Amino acid sequence: MALADMFDGFILDLDGVVYVGDEPVPGSPETIVALQRAGKRVLYLTNDARRTREGYAAKLRRLGVPADAADVITCGAATAACIRADGRADGHTAYVIGSTALAGEMAGAGLHLLHGAEGRSADVVVVGGHEAFDFAQLRTATQAVLGGAALYGTNRDATFPMPDGPWPGTGSILAAVEFATGRTARVAGKPEAFIFDMAGRAVARALAETGGPAPAGASAGPARVAMVGDRLDADIAGGHRAGLGTILVLSGCTRAQDLAGAEVPPDHVVERLAGVL
């Protein structure tokens, strides 16, 4: 039986699964279209907060995949929701290390953004992946956290795949802030439960609207839903904890030889997303 026939919904990581950099993984766009035509619910879950949700949907459309912002959950959106759930959004200030898209998610959650040296007085410090990260930002974040600000990170990914090799990820920047302050950040992105709860609820709603199966009792997701990713530590471990089926693709960060040491092995392994067909 094909994996596509075993599941009603698929939660797909983006980097390493659907594309690497700006190039599609061979066969992935066509596979997603085939899944959608077969009535499967497809949702995208990414630990990359450098774009807005609409920005990722637009990128998918450029690759030939029908998608809109409601189909995408970013770690930035999850972090904003987490801060809001913790009661630290409306009326509070934030210093953001990260992209314009990440800052927009924080502003959308009701946080007032502080910039430059004024960030030292922020109530919340948010750290995301950021190519322009520098010492001044590290200094400001350090002073804010040591002054009492709550520290949040979008994820702990050490690297992410790019055509010329791995690039440093959010986890590398977050580690610097944590080491400087001696504090541990609250993280909302993969593999943490918060973002999988968001994704599971979204898939459950979509399946309910189309007459799909009801939730199986776990808050993170409905029955017959698979998490498809290229990272054992983020995608597979997080999906397993959320009670989802897990499918590892070997088109991104993980190689076949890495499976021998996996703490949480995937339920299924395919070379590329096209293997689910």
Residues catalogued as catalytic: 13, 15
Q: Give the three-class secondary structure for 33.
A: helix
Q: At 179, is the secondary structure helix, strand, or coil?
A: helix
Quick one: DSSP state of residue 253? S
What is the distance between the alpha carbons of residues 152 and 99, in angstroms, rounded to a whole number? 15
Residue 267 near residue 245 (C-beta atoms within 8 A): yes
Residue 57, token pair as written in the block: 């949907």
Q: Is 11 helix (H, G, I), strand (E, B) or coil?
A: strand
Encoding tokens for residue 199? 């994704």
Residues 21/25/28/30 CA torsion (nearest 10 deg):
100
Which residues, including other chains, have CB under 8 Å from residue 5's CB and lie 6 or more apart? none
DSSP at 106: H
Strand partners, 159: 168
User: What is d(CA 246, CA 237) in angstroms, rounded to the nearest whole number?
Assistant: 9
Query: What's 258's DSSP letter?
Result: G
Tokens of 202: 């979204």
